């Protein structure tokens, strides 16, 4: 997801370039994920304003059953981008204090959106991703995925004082 902005840098403020995106990127879990959408780059007086809307499909791991699953998200991005080389002098320039957290173009005026897309997709990932709301998770005894098979493990240690109630539950299940 690299776009050369050298020609756009020579154009007047307000000039735009539109790009269609249908590419892979390194996603939140360092796997190869997919993004589709568009990127619009607008020339500003100091650099560029980058706007994008993308639909991403990322591979995640369920926090209950540890199965991998695909999650989709719609991302809307708006970022500023500044050149690393002053176009008038041709010398490297230090980013201003206001440029903290913006995209810096490389010395060939190439915009790399891969890391920005990765960061936006990380923000969209839930703290505890689930393959489904009804996910049963793993058995704490044998570790089998309870979504795929029921195990014969006991549900946990039973307090002897409650054992007669546990016997009633077993009789009811039979």
pLDDT tens digits along 142-161: 888 999 988 877 666 667 78
Beta-strand pair 16-26/32-43: antiparallel
Confidence of residue 89 (pLDDT cuts 50, 70, 90): low
Q: How far apart are CA 126 and CA 94, in angstroms?
A: 36
Q: Give me the pLDDT at residue 162, please.
A: 76
Quickly state the pLDDT bin for 73 (edges 50, 70, 90).
Answer: very high
Checking if the pLDDT of 102 tops 80, the result is no
Secondary structure element (H or E) that encloses residue 8, with its range: helix 6-9
Which residues neighbour 61 within 8 Å (Cβ) at sequence distance 6 or greater?
29, 67, 68, 69, 129
Residue 137 region by backbone torsions, left for phi larger than 0, else alpha for psi between -120 and 50, else beta? left
Q: Report the predicted TM-score, pTM, of the whole model to 2 decimal places.
A: 0.74
Residues in the chain: 174
pLDDT in tens, 3-47: 888 888 888 999 999 999 999 999 888 889 999 999 999 999 888
If you average pLDDT over residues 101-121, what whole number do you get? 82
Spatial CA neighbour of 25 closest among 52, 43, 7: 52
């Amino acid at each position: 997801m690299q776009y050369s902005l050298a020609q756009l840098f020579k154009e007047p403020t307000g000039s735009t370039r539109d790009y269609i995106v249908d590419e892979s990127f390194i996603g939140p879990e360092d796997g190869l994920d997919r993004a589709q959408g568009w990127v619009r780059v607008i020339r500003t007086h100091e650099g560029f304003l980058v706007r994008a809307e993308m639909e991403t499909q990322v591979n995640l791991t369920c926090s209950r059953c540890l199965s991998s699953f695909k999650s989709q998200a719609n991302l809307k991005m708006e970022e500023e981008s500044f050149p690393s080389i002053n176009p008038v002098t041709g010398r490297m320039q230090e980013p201003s204090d206001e440029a903290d957290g913006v995209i810096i173009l490389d010395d060939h005026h190439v915009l790399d959106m891969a890391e920005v897309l990765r960061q936006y997709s990380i923000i969209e990932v839930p703290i505890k991703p689930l393959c489904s709301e009804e996910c049963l998770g793993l058995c704490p005894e044998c570790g089998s995925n309870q979504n795929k098979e029921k195990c014969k493990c006991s549900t946990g240690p039973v307090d002897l004082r409650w054992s007669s109630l546990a016997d009633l539950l077993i009789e009811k299940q039979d």
